[in-house]
Amino acid sequence: MTIGDQPIPGCPVIIPVIKGLVKTIGSKGSAEGQYNNPRSVAINKDRDIVTADRDNNRLQIITREGNFKKCLKFKQFKKPFTPCDIAISSDNTYYSLDNNNKQVVVSDENGHVIRCFGQNELKDPYGIGISPVDGNVYVTDRGGHCVRVYTQHGKYLRSFGSKAKGTGQFNGPWGVVISSTGMVFVADYYNKRIQVFNAHDQYLYSFDCQSGDGKMRYPIGIAIENDKYVYVTTDNPSSLLKFESSGKFVCRIDSNRDGLKDPSGLALTDDVPCRVLWQIGKTTASRCLYSDNIIIQCTR
């Protein structure tokens, strides 16, 4: 290596590059640091990992190193709290999607409930995202085959989509993420594609990949990096895929030997080098750390 045609002192050097599976964290159970069907993950202002630990009826918070910090439990509802996704706003407010009670539970980082909303509209909520443009809350409703939009104060604004295979229509939508420019990316599960809309709910384009390492059969979780790359977890086959935001397939992040099974929600970290974390749910209940810039959650 040279600078201005002059050799750099000390060359050649060996630069270690972390790639692929790094480690696993956690196990199946109900104790601190254990999980039972974890469904989603987010990063709070302290860079801790917040997990929607569905069948343990709680949110669980651990450090980036995997050390337990606290659990948030909400026992004041008619049915047990069953979080299936979580989004955290810029002021560190938690928006938990409670599938059992068909509502969004808004709380602070200590578990104090601020408000709940969505009970009048939501049929089978699965995914939640917050727009960095206007702060609106987007919820995918698998029962209604649509995306519902609320203010952060819980006012219902509108919905878009209906059940079918056409453009702008859905069949069991799952994950949702919004770019810095307001573009909405939706994992259209049974239609086996990602659909993209503008900030006015107008359909822009779709993408998928049906061959090779990029095969997308049933997309579940979705995250976006700097409006440039989109990461998708898929079921059957279970995999983590990377696309350009235009829809062009880039690469598969995981490998067959990793044993990824039923991946669900995911989120990005700002580590250098970046990492990918996922959780396995009912059968193995472990978390796997990858070298890229995503946190992933697995379900079964």
Domain assignment present for residue 9? The answer is no
The pLDDT of residue 282: 41
Token code pair at residue 132: 């960095």
Neighbour-count burial for 22-36, b at 16+ CB within 10 Å, e otherwise: eebbbebeeeebbbb
At residue 50, the pLDDT reads 94
Confirm whether 184 is domain-assigned: yes
Comparing 7-16, 180-189, 207-216, which segment has the lowest mean pLDDT? 7-16
Tell me which residue of 176, 136, 186 sits closest to 158, measured CA to CA.
Answer: 136
Pick from 32, 81, 36: nearest CA to 61: 32
Average pLDDT score over the chain: 87
At 11 the pLDDT is 63
Q: Is residue 287, in this structure, part of any structural domain at all?
A: yes
Instruction: Determine, yes or no, domain membership for 3.
Output: no
The length of the chain in residues reads 300
Predicted pLDDT at 279: 44
Query: Does residue 290 surpass a pLDDT of 90?
Result: no
Count up the domains in the chain and report the number. 1
**pTM of this prediction?**
0.88
Residue 4 included in any domain: no
**Comparing C-alpha atoms, which of 198, 240, 196, 245 is closest to residue 219?**
240
Which one-letter amino acid corresponds to residue 201?
D
Range of the domain at 155: 18-298
Span 141-188, pLDDT tens digits: 999 999 999 999 999 999 999 999 999 999 999 999 999 999 999 999
84 lies in a domain? yes
Q: Does some domain include residue 5?
A: no
Model confidence pLDDT, tens digit, residues 42-76: 999 999 999 999 999 999 999 988 899 999 999 99
pLDDT, average across residues 194-214: 92
- The CATH number given to whatever domain includes residue 253 is 2.120.10.30
2 part of a folded domain: no
